[in-house]
Structure 1
């Protein structure tokens, strides 16, 4: 009798087990369906995107549809070939396998050329046997001949600028202004207005910061055109103001990227404890006090964020952001990039004369730039380096790279929310500086 009960119990369990499993499966399916139906995706905030590359464009640039960094080798574009070779060289998965590189004769040629160029960067550096090189404009050929060279001697240095005549440890803001030897009026107008070095108060009058201004110059010689010899005047200017950095490379439009790279090296060596960098052209006007107020807010938010996370790096990079830009294929413009040199679109970048970023990010940009080929458009190159770090520039509507509406340019109150405006002549800088004094109290 006992054995029969045990057998019946086992039989009952075996019959019920599939039913229980099926029931659990039905419950799981019903719960999954309910969660899927009730799920609401998070709302994505659409930030303002700067209008295209034309000041008259009313259409907003759309969001990028495809990733910028593409490892596919473009046989018809020199920059893409060379970047692809570097991508493979620095890819940790492929480091142990050089077979693919050795099979590619173009990659072997590029590697051989680079070894020769890097051994003597001051000598002419060419890329022979590249199809169509002679068809490039002279400006592009000159860039290609020296694009492997990243180190140039300093002709004028300011090693003590970040600690000069101040008891403060380091500057809150370093103003790095790209200029040329002949642009003395621009530099002087900046020194007398928004680029004054020293302790600058914010518009709130509560906080300010130590500001140091530097002008970034290359060498001007006969190869860049007929210019008078201004070397002696530049030496006098430097002795008077002590705010010039000059390197021994040709100061051309396509070499502006070098000023970013060489300034990052200088910053790491002589001013790594500064907090922020403004990098801009010498024909912009900056409301420095308002910019300091903005940077104080960003810094306080970073301190709060740092208290709740392990991330100590501040990834601030702000300007007038342009998305989905394409290379200019018009040979008559100074921005002309031939399709045989570069193929594809540009990553998001901040352009138009001025950007602000944290020094901690500047040092990371310096490091990652060692794996990004030099590009002749400096704003685009910064976007490439940011993209390589997995970051994107942040847009700020106060960076008016296309200027105010013409009817508002004479109204001081129209500048109340402006941080930067482009372009202004030296005389216009001086006039605007006087008009904008005590702006918050008048508007």
Structure 2
């Protein structure tokens, strides 16, 4: 009888014990959840001027950029959604029609998203979609009024700079495409005399070199940028003497730097499609061109299967100082300002615009895919958007110092031993560095 009573007691107590264990488990789980802090994502730099710890940035994406970024409220997001639908192979037929904002009342209408306007004069059709348009900084208003156009005439061409189409013409191993402005004569001349010399360039310490060509990418002098003299006559003299300038008929401003990428890719596909690599940079950097050639040859020799051609191995090569986990700068006082009414979401990974290098094959694909990505005011970010569209991630290289060396090391030649690029350098500093770095710098 006592044995039966004990068993009955155990059976009765068992549910109570199990419930007690469950309560303890729940309480422990709650405590762990409350006390847990997610690991911090690596932070580099946002389109210069803002760190991603400031409360002004969009949150880090939880899904791929092209799924998360296209939120409803911002103009660029809406325009990109129209382009996505137009180029969706499932939705499109022989001719794709999508809804576009109407120029008159802001409502949508049926239209062909691929049709370009008759000219590139300022167009108010998108301004009506921005409730805060009249309060935006001038450069942002100007961009919105002209962002419908990416087809500007080429005023100055250099058709033979890459050797032409003849069978005996040698294509460059590296094409240096340098973004410049009309008034930056000293910068361009310093580059020609130092790291941007056209011709055969030997690698470091006698390493394998290659043919290098240089072009400077210019728009037209911006009369609204300040009280500056008309420099077009001097520019014409420079063009005739050096024959390395490409100039298009658009206003040269910070928000129009994206046009230089888009128009350069088009020129590249026509005039220089056999170049193996493209370096795109600013005219205030210092590039160790011989070290870059060594790096590019190494990529072709060591990546991929040994039996592959080196151009196949480097087909998706894109290298620079990669900036990840970044979002728009929401400070109206900075030139990198992007209002929330224009763009919502985060930026895809991109490389600092001081200088990047990528394969010639990728340059051709970037030109094609750029037609599917709506123009964005910041050229670095736009390039990252195009890469993301191609399914390519930029590769980080510690030798691309677009934010410069530590101040204490800038005057030491030995500090440049592992450097490929530094930003910023004046023409005088370029000449000094060039003289000091004619041999491989010793270790510090």
Correspondence 1:422 to 2:415: no
Paired position in structure 2 for 1:120: 118
CA distance in 2, matches of 1:436, 1:208: 17
CA distance in 1, matches of 2:96, 2:193: 60
CA distance in 1, matches of 2:311, 2:411: 48
1:123, distance to aligned residue in structure 2 (A): 2.4
Paired position in structure 1 for 2:197: 196
CA distance in 2, matches of 1:306, 1:374: 40
Question: Contact (CA 8 Å) 2:219, 2:247: kept in 1 or not?
Answer: yes
Paired position in structure 2 for 1:135: 135
Distance 1:56 1:329, change over 3 A: closer
| 1:228-267 correspondence to structure 2 within 5 Å | 228-267=229-268
Paired residue for 1:93, among 84, 90, 94? 90
Question: Contact (CA 8 Å) 1:78, 1:341: kept in 2 or not?
Answer: yes
Distance 1:104 1:160, change over 3 A: closer
CA distance in 2, matches of 1:358, 1:171: 12
Greater mean deviation of Cα atoms: 313-322 or 340-349? 313-322
Paired position in structure 1 for 2:72: 75
Q: How many residues end up aligned between the 2 structures?
A: 392
Greater mean deviation of Cα atoms: 271-280 or 63-72? 63-72
Paired position in structure 1 for 2:217: 216
CA distance in 1, matches of 2:134, 2:60: 37
CA distance in 1, matches of 2:384, 2:341: 21
Paired position in structure 2 for 1:186: 187
1:51, distance to aligned residue in structure 2 (A): 2.3
Distance 1:205 1:168, change over 3 A: farther
Distance 1:345 1:58, change over 3 A: closer
Paired position in structure 2 for 1:368: 369
SS of 2:212's partner is strand
Paired position in structure 2 for 1:330: 331
1:51-92: CA deviations, max 9, x gaps?
223799799xx9964311127753320000110111112112
1:16-56: CA deviations, max 9, x gaps?
xxxxxxxxxxxxxxxxxxxxxxxxxxxxxxxx967223799
1:129, distance to aligned residue in structure 2 (A): 3.1
Distance 1:240 1:329, change over 3 A: same
Distance 1:123 1:248, change over 3 A: same
| 1:102-117 correspondence to structure 2 within 5 Å | 108-109=108-109, 111=111, 115=115
Distance 1:321 1:50, change over 3 A: farther
1:433, distance to aligned residue in structure 2 (A): 0.9
1:221, distance to aligned residue in structure 2 (A): 4.0
Question: Contact (CA 8 Å) 1:283, 1:422: kept in 2 or not?
Answer: yes
CA distance in 1, matches of 2:92, 2:114: 19
| 1:309-388 correspondence to structure 2 within 5 Å | 314-388=315-389
Structure 1: where are the runs of 5+ without partners?
1-47
CA distance in 1, matches of 2:108, 2:50: 46
Question: Contact (CA 8 Å) 2:202, 2:290: kept in 1 or not?
Answer: yes
SS of 2:66's partner is coil
Greater mean deviation of Cα atoms: 302-311 or 259-268? 302-311
- More helix by percentage: 1
CA distance in 2, matches of 1:300, 1:107: 56
1:151, distance to aligned residue in structure 2 (A): 1.1
Distance 1:90 1:232, change over 3 A: same
Distance 1:104 1:159, change over 3 A: closer
SS of 1:328's partner is coil
SS of 2:268's partner is helix
TM-score, with structure 2 as normaliser: 0.81
1:144, distance to aligned residue in structure 2 (A): 1.2
Structure 2: where are the runs of 5+ without partners?
1-40, 54-58
1:211, distance to aligned residue in structure 2 (A): 0.5
CA RMSD of aligned residues (A): 3.2
Question: Contact (CA 8 Å) 1:224, 1:251: kept in 2 or not?
Answer: no
SS of 1:342's partner is coil
| 1:268-347 correspondence to structure 2 within 5 Å | 268-301=269-302, 304=305, 307=308, 314-347=315-348
SS of 1:246's partner is strand
Question: Contact (CA 8 Å) 2:319, 2:397: kept in 1 or not?
Answer: yes
